[in-house]
Amino acid sequence: MGPVPFEATVTDVDAGTATVRYRDANGIHDARGRFLAGCDGSHGATRGAIPAALSRRHARDHGVAWLAVLAEAAQSMPAVTYAIHDNGFAGHMARSPEVTRYYLQVPAGDDPASWTDDRIWTELAVRMRVERFGALKQGRITERRIVRLRSEVVDPIQYERLFLVGDAASLISPSAAKGANLAILEAKVLANALVDAIVRADERALTGYSGTCLPRIWRAQEFSHWMIDLLHGPADGAPDAGFQRALRRARLDSLRDSRAHQNLFAEHYVGI
């Protein structure tokens, strides 16, 4: 691995080149190039390099929080598993043969430290109905943090010689596991466009980068939003809580019984 830079700033993206000024252990340096791929996340320097007057940022807080847990435990189910329970959502996602990610829906203001290992495993067992589906494989919990379900989209995701990729272009809630999919899609589209520009002197694909990626980003956002409504019950005290629960039950019944609905769900879940 090369040196890790810090305190990066982006300049001159509208001057035919792009300049990144950064600091590392050896001092401050400038890196220049014809094009700049902004892959530095939602808090990085590249997103802020697009003039505010030329960019729209769409954001939504979904009003839902998860306790994200990482456990030194083999997966308990053969696939990603979502559990819907009156206590709230629970999720199971294997990360490796020895490590599993779990999620528990919690109040947004919860302190992760208040969730002891025993409390976490007990609540996971309740929500994932171990008495019916079998015990969970337990292990030492190495991480616990609160994740608020938020979404953001930058429009456009390019400016002059700068092209945003991954979380720099959009944030998506983890409810439908689309963040990595979108980042890979955008990287592939941008890589092909850069080959056209550098090898064939054809910048049409670069010019259309936002137009190619943004519709797919919004499709993923729409599916993620649908999944949030499916997985989480109404807020405590909501005046239409009964109506919302009945709608969720209808969605689940349709997903269970309708082959057309299952096919559409599969298309959205594995694709973009």
Report whether pLDDT(5) > 90. no
The pLDDT, as a whole number, for residue 249 is: 93
* Cα dist from 239 to 106, 230, 242, whole Å: 21, 18, 8
> What is the C-alpha to C-alpha distance for residues 207 and 161, in angstroms, rounded to an integer?
10
pLDDT recorded at residue 1? 54
For the record, the structure tokens of 75 come out as 């997966």
Q: What is the mean pLDDT of the chain?
A: 92
Examine the pLDDT at 147 and tell me if it is beyond 70: yes
Q: How confident is the model at residue 24 (pLDDT cuts 50, 70, 90)?
A: confident
Amino acid at 238: A
pLDDT tens for residues 165-211?
999 999 999 888 889 999 999 999 999 999 999 999 999 999 999 99
Residue 76 has pLDDT above 90, yes or no: yes
CB 224 within 8 A of CB 268: no
- How many CB atoms are closer than 10 A to CB 117? 14
- The answer to whether residues 164 and 40 touch, using CB atoms and an 8 Å cutoff, is no
- Per the CB < 8 A criterion, the answer to whether 155 and 56 are in contact is yes
Tell me if the bond preceding 107 is cis, omega within 30° of 0. no
Banded model confidence at residue 272, pLDDT cuts 50, 70, 90:
low
Asked whether residue 235 carries a pLDDT value surpassing 90, the answer given is no
72 vs 9 pLDDT, higher one: 72
pTM metric for this prediction: 0.88
Give the pLDDT score at 47. Answer: 93
pLDDT at 3 over 70: no
Structural domains in the chain, CATH included, are 6-55+156-226 (3.50.50.60), 62-149+227-270 (3.30.9.10)
> Length of the chain in residues, anyone?
272
* Mean pLDDT (whole number) for 99-117: 95
Flag whether pLDDT at 128 surpasses 90. Answer: yes
* Statement: residue 269 has pLDDT above 80: yes
Tokens of 256: 């269970």
143 CB neighbour count, 10 Å cutoff: 11
